[in-house]
Amino acid sequence: MSVISAPRHHRPVQPRLIETRPLRNPDLASANMMTRRGWWLVALNFLFPGSAQVLAGSRKLGRFGLGATIFLWALLILAGLCALLWPAGAFSIVAGLWIPAPLSLLRPVPLLLIQALFIAYAVLWIVLTIDTLRLVKLVKAKPLSRIGIPVLALVLVAVSSSAAAYGAQVTGSTRDALSTIFGSSAEVVPPSDGYYNILLLGADSGEGRDSMRFDSISVVSVNSDTGATTITGIPRDLGHFPFSEGPMKTLYPDVHTGKSDPNCGWGSGINQLRTEVEVCRDGDSLYPDARDNNSEPGVEATKDAAEGLLGIEIPYYVFIDMHGFAEMVDALGGVDITVDERLPEGGGPRYSGESAEEWASGWIEAGPQHMDGDTAQWYARSRYTTSDFDRMRRQRQLQEAMIAQFTPQTVLTRYQGVAAATSNLMQTDLPQGLLPTLADLALKAKEQPVTTIELTPDGAGVDQDKPNVAAVQEVIRAALHPPTAEPSP
C-alpha cells in the first residue's frame, strides 16, 4: 500500500535586501544623491577628520583619524586649562624644565615631540582629504560640483593643515628661543631678602665689542611673592662707588677710581668697567668662570659694582642690544608714548657750533606718539639737547610702555616676530629653571604699577661723583621693604 504524502508548503524566497544608506551605498545612478553626498563628505572631513571614512570608506582609517583628532583636541583643551590655572607649571612641562640639570640636554625633547605631533597631524589631515575625494566619486556628481567639491576640499585642507603647521612652527620657535637665550642650566639662586634682582644692561653692540660701553644700567627687583617690580636706574657716569666682595673689591677696597693712561685708561664711572676689565685688564683671569656661565667679565664687574652701591644681591643679568630693541618694538606693533619735548634723531653734531637743525636726520615731535622700532630707539638714545638724566627717564618710560604692550593677545598674534626679535635682543645668564617662576611673577606684575627709582641729583638726590652710599642703600631698602602701617586701636 503506497502512502501518499501531503504536499510540502515552502516559504516564498525573500529577495535579498540591499543597503540603501546614501553615504556608504549610494545610488550611483543618481547625480543629485552623489552631489549631495560629495559635499557632505568634504564638510565632515573638515569638521571631524576621519568621520568621512567611518561613514563611507575604510572604517579602520576613519577610526584612526577620529582617534587622532580627539586626542589632539584633548591635549589642546588640557593645555589651555593648565595655562589658565597653572601657567608656571604648564610652561615648565612643555619646555622640559622639570628635567634635572644633569640631563639638561634632554630638555628640548617635549617641545620636539609636540612639534612632531603637529606635523604628523597635518600630514594625516592631507591623507584623509585625498581619501575623501576618492570616496566622493566626482565623475558621478553634477558637472559644476565636479569642480566645486575638490576646490572646497583643497581650501579646507589648506586652512586646517596650515593651522597645524603654524602650531609646529610656533613650537619650534619657542624651542630655538629657549635654547638660544636661556642656555644656562645652572642651579637657581633663591630670592635674596624676598626679591629676584636682575641687572639690566643696554648698549649698541654694533659699535664694536672692544669699545662698547653700557649706555643704560638699571636693576630690576621682582618681589618673589607678589610680583611687584621696582626698577632702579643707575646713571652710566656715576663714579666712586664701592664693590661687593670679589676680584674688583680686592683691586678697589674703598671705591672705584679712574686711571689716566694714554695707552689704556678709564674713568671712575660705572660704564667704564667694561673697558677697564676687558680691554685694559685680563678680565678672564679676574672672572675665570664668566664665559662658561653665559656672561662676560665686564658684566660681572658691573654686577659687583651695582651690588656694592645698592646693598642687594644681584645674581643675574640681561643685556639688551639696541638693534634688537628696535626689532622687538616693531614685533609688538609699536608703542604709545607721550613725548614731553621735541627731540632730534641722528648721531649728533659733526663739528663744534653746529645746531641740531643742521645735523638732525629727523625729529620726534612733542605730544602723543605711536612709535615704531626706529623712532623708539632714538627716543631712548637721544642725548643731544637734553641730559643723560632725561634719557634715563625716557628709557624707563619705554620699558613701562613695552610691558603694557606685552599682552597675551599681542604675543599670540605676533608670536613669530616676537620670538625672532627676542633671540636677537637678549643675552642673559638667567637659568632655564627660573623661567616658570618668572613667568608666573610676570602675570602678577601686570596687575600692579612699576616703581622706579632714579639715582640722579633730581631723582634720589645722588651726587654723581661722590655718591652717599649709605643714603642710596637706605632709599633702596625703603622702596623694597616699605614700613607697614600700625593698626588703628
Q: List domains and CATH numbers for the chain.
A: 31-181 (no CATH), 195-332+406-480 (3.40.630.190)
**Interacting residues of 208 by C-beta distance below 8 A, sequence separation 6+:** none
State the pLDDT at residue 169.
Answer: 80
Q: How many angstroms separate the Cα of 179 from the Cα of each of 198, 289, 320, 321, 327?
A: 20, 20, 17, 18, 20
State the pLDDT at residue 8.
Answer: 54
Beta-carbon-side half-sphere exposure of residue 367 (alpha carbons within 13 Å): 2
The percentage of the chain sitting over the pLDDT mark of 70, rounded to a whole number, equals: 84
Give the position of cell 636706574: 233
State the pLDDT at residue 123.
Answer: 92
Q: Which three cell numbers stand for residue 177?
A: 628661543
Phi-psi region of 373 (alpha: psi -120 to 50; beta: other; left: phi over 0): alpha
Q: Which residue has the higher pLDDT, 102 or 442?
A: 442
Inter-residue contact 146 to 67 (CB < 8 Å): no
pLDDT (mean) for 355-365: 77
Give the type of residue at 182: F
Helices then strands, counting H and E runs in the chain, come out as 18, 10
Q: Which three cell numbers stand for residue 36?
A: 549631495
Q: What is the pLDDT of residues 415-436, one digit of tens each?
A: 666 666 666 677 888 887 788 8
State the pLDDT at residue 414.
Answer: 65
Inter-residue contact 424 to 321 (CB < 8 Å): yes
Q: What is the pLDDT of residues 388-419, one digit of tens each?
A: 778 888 888 887 787 777 665 666 566 666 66
Q: Which residue has the higher pLDDT, 45 or 321?
A: 45
H/E segment holding residue 189: none
pLDDT (mean) for 178-190: 74
Full DSSP string of 262-291: SSS-B-SBGGGHHHIIIIIS-HHHHSTTTG
- Average pLDDT of the chain is 83
State the pLDDT at residue 16.
Answer: 47
Q: Looking at 208-274, which runs of residues are DSSP E strands?
A: 216-223, 229-234
Phi-psi region of 486 (alpha: psi -120 to 50; beta: other; left: phi over 0): beta
Q: Which three cell numbers stand for residue 306?
A: 651695582
37-51, 317-331, 340-354, 475-489: segment of lowest average pLDDT: 340-354
Inter-residue contact 418 to 425 (CB < 8 Å): no
DSSP state of 478: H
Burial classification of residue 177, based on how many CB atoms lie within 10 Å of its CB (0-12 exposed, 13-18 middle, 19 or more buried): middle
Burial classification of residue 103, based on how many CB atoms lie within 10 Å of its CB (0-12 exposed, 13-18 middle, 19 or more buried): exposed
What band does 343 get if pLDDT is binned at 50, 70 and 90?
confident
State the pLDDT at residue 435.
Answer: 81
Inter-residue contact 175 to 186 (CB < 8 Å): no
Nearest to 378 by CA among 358, 363, 357: 363
Beta-carbon-side half-sphere exposure of residue 111 (alpha carbons within 13 Å): 23
State the pLDDT at residue 485.
Answer: 56
Alpha-carbon distance of 360 to 268, in angstroms, equals 31
pLDDT (mean) for 267-278: 93
What band does 85 get if pLDDT is binned at 50, 70 and 90?
confident
Alpha-carbon distance of 480 to 485, in angstroms, equals 15
Q: Residue 364 pLDDT more than 60? A: yes
156-160, 360-364, 484-488: segment of lowest average pLDDT: 484-488
Radius of gyration for the chain, computed over Cα atoms and rounded to the nearest angstrom: 33
DSSP state of 9: -
Q: Residue 352 pLDDT more than 90? A: no
Alpha-carbon distance of 273 to 236, in angstroms, equals 10
Q: Residue 132 pLDDT more than 60? A: yes
Q: What is the pLDDT of residues 281-326, one digit of tens each?
A: 999 999 999 988 889 999 999 999 999 999 999 999 988 877 777 8
| C-alpha 419: how far from chain center | 5
**Start-to-end CA span in the chain (Å):** 129
